[in-house]
Amino acid sequence: MTLDIAIAPDPDLDAEDAEVAETREWIEALDEVIEVQGPERAQYLLKKLEERGHERALDLPFTANTPYVNTIPRSAQPPYPGDRQLERRIKSLIRWNAMAMVVRANKQHEGLGGHISTFASAATLYQVGMNHFFRGRGDGGFGGDLIYFQGHASPGIYAQAFLEGRLSEERLTRFRLELAPGGGLSSYPHPWLMPEFWEYPTVSMGLGPISAIYQARFNRYLHDRGIADTSGRHVWCFVGDGETDEPESLGAISLAARERLDNLIFVINCNLQRLDGPVRGNGKIIQELETVFRGAGWNVIKVIWGDDWDPLLERDESGLLVKRMNEVVDGQYQKYTVESGDFIRRDFFGKYPELLALVEDLPDKKLERMRRGGHDPEKVYAAYRRAVDHPGQPTVILAKTIKGYGLGEAGEGRNVTHQQKKLNEDELRGFRDRFDIPIPDHRLAEAPFYRPPEDSEEIRYLTERRRALGGYVPSRKVKTAPLAVPERDLYQDFFGGIQRPVSTTMAFVQMLAKLLKDKEIGDHIVPIVPDEARTFGMESLFRQCGIYSSVGQVYEPVDAKMLLYYKEAKDGQILEEGITEAGSMASFTAAGTAYATHGVDMIPFFIFYSMFGFQRIGDLIWAFGDQRGRGFLLGATSGRTTLNGEGLQHEDGHSHVLAATVPNLCAYDPAFAYEIAVIVRDGLRRMYCEREDVFYYVTLCNENYEMPAMPEGAEEGILRGLYKLRPAPELGGRQEAAGGRPRAHLFGSGPLLNGALRAQEILAERYGVAADVWSATSYKELRREALAAERWNLLHPNEEPRVPYVTRVLAGEEGPVVAVSDYMKLVPDQIARWVPGGLFTLGTDGFGRSDTRAALRRFFEVDAEHVVLATLGQLARRGALDPAVPRRAIAELGIDAEKSDPLVT
Ligand SMILES: Cc1ncc(C[n+]2csc(CCOP(=O)(O)OP(=O)(O)O)c2C)c(N)n1
Ligand SMILES: [Mg+2]
């Protein structure tokens, strides 16, 4: 629904209007108020009328839409501060080089890919920013604006950096040839690949927008807590109109309005197309987004029409032009892009004779070239200016553009344009002529790059503009000074063991509380939780640190009289994000990359329901790795059988499989408090002292048991992923003397380590088997190290082979190894090929159930009895035991051999 301000003498409306003269009088009265008393008075009167209508119970029409015209009329446009001609020449060169980069890459290497049409549509949106708005990092290196570039607009950003002299011509020839000597340019923004250039990985659609929102909020958080002055920094997020279909793109916009993030600007490039075709062929994406953003409380600025349309709009007294603009759908607007002026005249203006009359003086060629707002620098400048100055709300700019602008027949507005990577000589000529690029005919076919001389007007202007705005963007810099992380003392309680039964979650929360009090790093810690703090026993932290709220606490909490009341505060430290794992992860990202964005070390601990971590927001975690983020992810209530009553959707038996996929993630499944202490301590050292680009995933559980003291010398093994926890009990006596008992090894992790310890006793007492129990804290770490050794051996066949840690520690050991995990069998299986004598794995493959822990562990065949049976079976297979023993054990241990397979049940 659109609001139609144009009434008289609209034929359609008048037909419905029983009292035309009366309607006119009302409209004229309004006009008079606007002209004589000004727009504010007019707004006031309309508001009063609306209120009156509500009082009289009128069913008032609602629409969040405004007409399909620019939000800022020509009369309200500020003067353009730049040299339009010169800026156009610079922009044209950037267009050319961006296009040439893709064309050349694909000419040389069929199938390299790349995108021409996205940047072609967005060039003006970026150039106005580059010349007048985007502030660089400044002298200190950690100021300026935070800009999320649309991922597949990267060629344009490289082309800008080429003119700036930051990227050489050779480098441009290696776009998407990153492995070539000298290094190439990454396809998209990846800080992992170009750590001094790209800051924010955006190319997985939807991640840019949600990250930008939480980034803008985190900037406020840092400011409100007095950690960094972020007051002058704007967050700009460039988004594709098709990209807004991703739930992450729009899913957090209400937070931005609620938090009054006027430091946030979205620029949505509405070229009306996505990859396959129109975004909303039968509707209007700009109007749809306008309702969504206005409804959420954003300041919306539409930039639809270029200045060619202004005189027509001003001359159109009938209101029919706006009516026609409102009624045409995007699919048809796209058609006008590829059609002739004659067609536009007939199809668009021809609907109403008055409109035909309006354009009768304009030749077809002119109609063909009537620009869209997003290609008009003055319109874009006006929108940016207003967005930057707008107080109290985030702003979204909805800019209408043409996909593949300037490609002509080669792709402009065509449904295939997204995939266009090659232009023939004629098409290159067309592009050159349209943008006046000084490339001679004889060189056209090779699509050469062009950079004007250093002392040319263009280069001097562009260099001066960036200097005035504080330096080049994008540009990434990091804090390198080490942080003083806590010594062993802080963890002493955990090394010594906890005699009462507690869970690893409780132990961790106690540790976090201590860390928060540490005078060196306490203030830098950012606890993040998506509405599960009570589940994890963290409510004591509410009072200790406060929950961050940009407005403090403007109500009296119901539990105000209690010790641990729900305390919100402007300088609160905890980010209690509500039920949004994606939002929490975006906060984690802003915090975990603050060392690069703001030059301050923040240490985020994001604690979540483990099932809703990797499984749900794995792509954000992947991007965090790309962005070289640092911090601790804590998957609480984990373990398929340890979280018992919650059933199939909650019980996590696979996050460690998913964690195995992220290259720079260290993943641990600890059993005891001291293991967590060792892991957290070393993690802080590696990330914040050694400044390694790694981050951590630690699973925590809610089963209570006593936490033993750390055995002597266990630390190295805990970090490497495996150490011997409890050797087989010495039985002494007859059996020992008679040539030794069969020997075996049990690997356990998390709470299932306790089952392995029980199995050890059963094996010793009932079957005379001596089994050593090992704590396997990280199969991922073991595998990483073993793969490195194996690779080295492959590449150095003549040198003494390296022996992986896991093989080394098991070298002198005798007997089979049985691993038991509360995760899928794949998790321990990761290391099977380096276990001398082989590995037999018990794990929790299959969908979970709600039941008791004991029942679940029996169902998934991971309880102590199954560990015993597996061990006996392995011994019998090796001839170390009579095969009758495991057969007998099935009955003795009460195992049902015919029960259903949990994997398929
Ligand atoms: C999550 C995700 N899904 C799919 C893609 C593949 N993809 C890349 S560009 C594109 C179309 C983008 O359309 P739009 O957002 O309108 O951007 P435009 O190029 O039109 O500016 C798609 C589907 C992706 N990059 N990320
Ligand atoms: Mg698009």
- Confidence band, pLDDT 50/70/90 cuts, at residue 498: very high
Tokens read off for 97? 């080089």
Q: Among 267, 201, 198, which Cα is nearest to 238's?
A: 267
Mean pLDDT of 768-782: 98
- Confidence band, pLDDT 50/70/90 cuts, at residue 13: low
Measure the CA angle with vertex 457, ends 452 and 462; round to 5°: 85
Torsion region of 739: left, alpha or beta (phi above 0 gives left; psi -120 to 50 gives alpha):
left
- Confidence band, pLDDT 50/70/90 cuts, at residue 740: confident
Q: Which residue has the tokens 């293991």?
A: 675
Ligand 1 test: best mutation among 274, 334, 412, 626, most atoms within 8 Å of CB?
A: 274
Q: Among 604, 763, 782, 768, which Cα is nearest to 697's?
A: 604
What is the distance in A from the centroid of ligand 1 to the CA of 683?
A: 36
**Cα–Cα dist 769/215, whole Å:** 57
pLDDT at 739: 56
Beta strands in 441-520 (DSSP E): 498-502
Tokens read off for 310? 């202004």
**Cα–Cα dist 301/96, whole Å:** 29
- Average of per-residue pLDDT values in the chain: 95
Tokens read off for 813? 């050991």
Q: Is the CB of 274 under 6 A from ligand 1?
A: yes
Residue 12 has pLDDT above 60, yes or no: no
* Type and span of the H or E element at 39: helix 39-55
Residue 244 has pLDDT above 80, yes or no: yes
- Confidence band, pLDDT 50/70/90 cuts, at residue 3: very low
Mean pLDDT of 406-431: 92
- Confidence band, pLDDT 50/70/90 cuts, at residue 2: very low
Residues near 732 by beta carbon (within 8 Å), at least 6 away in sequence: none
Tokens read off for 732? 């002494």
Dump pLDDT digits (tens) for 663-716. Answer: 999 999 999 999 999 999 999 999 999 999 999 999 999 999 999 999 999 999
- Confidence band, pLDDT 50/70/90 cuts, at residue 5: very low
Neighbours of 514 (CB within 10 A): 18
Q: Is the CB of 330 under 6 A from ligand 1?
A: no
Dump pLDDT digits (tens) for 792-830. Answer: 999 999 999 999 999 999 999 999 999 999 999 999 999
pLDDT at 4: 44
- Confidence band, pLDDT 50/70/90 cuts, at residue 116: very high
Mean pLDDT of 400-424: 92
Residue 260 has pLDDT above 50, yes or no: yes
pLDDT at 563: 86
Cα 689 to chain center, whole Å?
26
From the CA of 203, give the closest atom in ligand 1: 25
**Cα–Cα dist 588/181, whole Å:** 36
Residue 8 has pLDDT above 50, yes or no: no
Residues near 176 by beta carbon (within 8 Å), at least 6 away in sequence: 105, 109, 112, 113, 114, 184, 185, 186, 187
pLDDT at 7: 43
Residue 16 has pLDDT above 90, yes or no: no
Strand partners of residue 492: none
What is the distance in A from the centroid of ligand 2 to the CA of 694?
A: 35
What is the distance in A from the centroid of ligand 2 to the CA of 243?
A: 7
Q: Is the CB of 271 under 6 A from ligand 1?
A: yes
Helices (H), 673-730: 673-684, 715-720
Q: Is the CB of 242 under 6 A from ligand 1?
A: yes
pLDDT at 61: 83
Q: Is the CB of 871 under 6 A from ligand 1?
A: no
Q: Among 819, 546, 815, 508, which Cα is nearest to 675's?
A: 508
**Cα–Cα dist 531/34, whole Å:** 49
Beta strands in 674-816 (DSSP E): 695-699, 705-707, 722-726, 743-748, 770-776
Ligand 1 test: best mutation among 124, 418, 420, most atoms within 8 Å of CB?
A: 418
From the CA of 241, give the closest atom in ligand 1: 16
pLDDT at 17: 86
Q: Among 313, 397, 399, 319, which Cα is nearest to 359's?
A: 313
Q: Is the CB of 273 under 6 A from ligand 1?
A: yes
Q: If you take atom 19 of ligand 1, which residue's CA is the nearest one?
A: 118
Q: If you take atom 20 of ligand 1, which residue's CA is the nearest one?
A: 274
Q: Which long-range contacts (CB under 8 A, 24 or more apart) does 142-145 make?
A: 142/477, 142/479, 142/597, 142/598, 142/599, 143/232, 143/233, 143/470, 144/233, 144/470, 144/471, 144/473, 145/233, 145/234, 145/235, 145/236, 145/473
* Type and span of the H or E element at 427: helix 425-435
Collapsed DSSP state (helix, strand, coil) of residue 817: strand
Q: If you take atom 4 of ligand 1, which residue's CA is the nearest one?
A: 205
From the CA of 239, give the closest atom in ligand 1: 15
**Cα–Cα dist 537/510, whole Å:** 10
Mean pLDDT of 850-878: 98
CB 562 within 8 A of CB 568: no
What is the distance in A from the centroid of ligand 1 to the CA of 133?
A: 26
Q: Is the CB of 269 under 6 A from ligand 1?
A: yes
What is the distance in A from the centroid of ligand 2 to the CA of 95?
A: 18
Question: Pairing state of beta strands 264-270 and 395-400?
Answer: parallel
Mean pLDDT of 177-189: 96
Q: Among 565, 725, 594, 550, which Cα is nearest to 227's?
A: 594
Angle separating helix axes 154-163 and 117-132, nearest 10 degrees:
50
From the CA of 244, give the closest atom in ligand 1: 15
Q: Among 568, 570, 621, 624, which Cα is nearest to 594's?
A: 624
Residue 1 has pLDDT above 70, yes or no: no
Q: If you take atom 16 of ligand 1, which residue's CA is the nearest one?
A: 242
Q: Is the CB of 204 under 6 A from ligand 1?
A: yes
Count, residues in the chain:
905
Measure the CA angle with vertex 891, ends 887 and 894; round to 5°: 135
Ligand 1 test: best mutation among 205, 248, 622, most atoms within 8 Å of CB?
A: 205
Collapsed DSSP state (helix, strand, coil) of residue 303: strand
Q: If you take atom 25 of ligand 1, which residue's CA is the nearest one?
A: 204
Nearest ligand to the CA of 245 is 1
Strand arrangement, sheet containing 770-776: 722-726, 770-776, 743-748, 817-820, 839-842
Mean pLDDT of 30-51: 95
Mean pLDDT of 588-596: 98
Q: Which residue has the tokens 């994001």?
A: 606
From the CA of 115, give the closest atom in ligand 1: 19
pLDDT at 732: 56
What is the distance in A from the centroid of ligand 1 to the CA of 205?
A: 6
What is the distance in A from the centroid of ligand 1 to the CA of 834?
A: 42
pLDDT at 738: 46
pLDDT at 350: 97
Mean pLDDT of 583-599: 98
Cα 470 to chain center, whole Å?
27
From the CA of 274, give the closest atom in ligand 1: 13
Nearest ligand to the CA of 120 is 1
Dump pLDDT digits (tens) for 196-228. Answer: 999 999 999 999 999 999 999 999 999 999 999
Q: Is the CB of 334 under 6 A from ligand 1?
A: no
Strand arrangement, sheet containing 632-636: 575-576, 525-529, 603-609, 632-636, 695-699, 665-668
Q: Is the CB of 203 under 6 A from ligand 1?
A: yes
What is the distance in A from the centroid of ligand 2 to the CA of 40?
A: 37
Q: Is the CB of 243 under 6 A from ligand 1?
A: yes
Looking at residue 880, what DSSP letter applies? S
Q: If you take atom 13 of ligand 1, which residue's CA is the nearest one?
A: 274
Residue 432 C-beta-side C-alpha neighbours within 13 Å:
22
- Confidence band, pLDDT 50/70/90 cuts, at residue 41: very high
Cα 520 to chain center, whole Å?
30
Q: Is the CB of 240 under 6 A from ligand 1?
A: yes
Q: Among 102, 250, 82, which Cα is nearest to 175's?
A: 102
In the chain, % of residues over pLDDT 70: 97
Mean pLDDT of 869-887: 97
Mean pLDDT of 268-292: 98
Greatest alpha-carbon pair distance for the chain in Å reads 116
